[in-house]
Structure 1
Amino acid sequence: MTATALPAAWLIVTTARPANLAERSLLRRETARRVIARQLGLPADEVCIDHDGKGRPLLARPAGRGLHLSLATRAGVVAVALAQRFVGIDIERIDPAATPPFAALHPAEGAMLRALPEATRPLAFARLWSAKEAYVKALGTGFVRAPESFSVTLLAPDRFEIDDPLRSSRTAGTGRAIENGGQGILAAAIVTLD
């Protein structure tokens, strides 16, 4: 499963159920190492994933290829994104019983969610939140950046746009909803920055 062009994203269903943050981190890195090795046509032991000072994953070996990566894990699925520019990927579980945290959303996002029929809000919120998290990962800030300081507009089931007052142009992203082997439905999003 290699990509014909970058940016590329892989959503890999695993049977692993990590019990803590360290185990989730190891699962992400090992899965990404195998995916990237296959993509680059290398043995897995020639690929090393490390982190920069802010915690963003980086391709430490092989070095000098100008590649950026992002990783996420949720409910048995590992998401890996690889690009030639800054990239962020996220995956969120859809919780039909959860109420969106409106205080953590941009006012336009809250208004959009409130205008939807209640039954469709969980999927819309998961799509929106995965887009927000993918964006701050691409920025390299994580949620040090307040989530309500920028807005996501869901344009179609597989497309969204981010309006950030700190950037001169809107940022486009893609997403999708997937089932992970009967455990639930997940929303995934990927963002690359110029």
Structure 2
Amino acid sequence: MLWFDDADAIAPALPAIWLVRTDAEPRNLTERSALRRGLALRIVARQLGCPEDDVLIDHDAAGRPLIALPSVTGLHLSLATRAGTVAVGLAQRPLGVDVERVDAEMKPPFDLLHPEERGMLEAMSLAMRPLAFARLWAAKEAYVKALGTGFTRPPESFCVSLLSDSHFSTRDPQHRTECQGALRLMKNGGQDVLAAAAIVLD
């Protein structure tokens, strides 16, 4: 998994994630969507070597973003936005990417977590939980985006394990598979600490 923080960077190989800090402060879902789409158009056009006007980003029936034009790229797309930071993922297989803010005041929603995830968080000190939860939730959301279900799939129905500061795994009884994904931290303007996660399905 390659990570870039420059929207104009061209990945020499895929999968790749562009985690780009912007000066935008989107106030609602419409503005967040426009920010995501605009940056994704720029990144996809650069990666494909074509003008932005030749790229069209649409959504499938489940709401997952896709590259509608050019029509035969063979690429999968995933998008996320948090606190003015945009994540754009490209891969040759289904992928998901998510970004979450580390919130020291937030109490983790234990009832939405797999029992093993709850146990992991409860065993941690209170000071360590916000970062661990942000990483955990970003990983869970990235996984359901890669599946194409979003959280119509109950988040407690599969288990994420944080393997290290840079990797996680998912264990899913519905698919009888274990997949590994990547984690990254970044600071957004020195104010927010953001946890990003990305996963590509086999």
- Is residue 67 of structure 1 aligned with residue 72 of structure 2? no
Q: TM-score, normalised by structure 2?
A: 0.95
Q: Mind listing any 5+ residue stretches in structure 2 that lack a counterpart?
A: 1-8
- Is residue 161 of structure 1 aligned with residue 162 of structure 2? no
1:75–1:183 Cα contact (<8 Å) kept: no
- Is residue 24 of structure 1 aligned with residue 32 of structure 2? yes
Q: CA RMSD in A?
A: 0.7
Q: Deviations over 1:13-56 (max 9, x none)?
A: 11111121111111101100001111111111111100011100
- The percentage of aligned residue pairs carrying the same residue is 60
Displacement of 1:147 after TM fit?
A: 0.2
Q: Mind listing any 5+ residue stretches in structure 1 that lack a counterpart?
A: none
The aligned counterpart of 2:90 is 82
Looking at structure 1, the residues matched to 200 and 93 of structure 2 have their Cα atoms a distance apart, in angstroms, of 7
The aligned counterpart of 2:139 is 131
Displacement of 1:60 after TM fit?
A: 0.5
The aligned counterpart of 2:123 is 115
How many residues get paired? 194
Looking at structure 2, the residues matched to 112 and 139 of structure 1 have their Cα atoms a distance apart, in angstroms, of 24
Q: TM-score, normalised by structure 1?
A: 0.98
- Is residue 192 of structure 1 aligned with residue 200 of structure 2? yes
The aligned counterpart of 1:104 is 112
- Is residue 92 of structure 1 aligned with residue 100 of structure 2? yes
Runs of 4+ more than 4 Å apart: none
Q: Deviations over 1:99-139 (max 9, x none)?
A: 11000000000000011111010000000000000000000
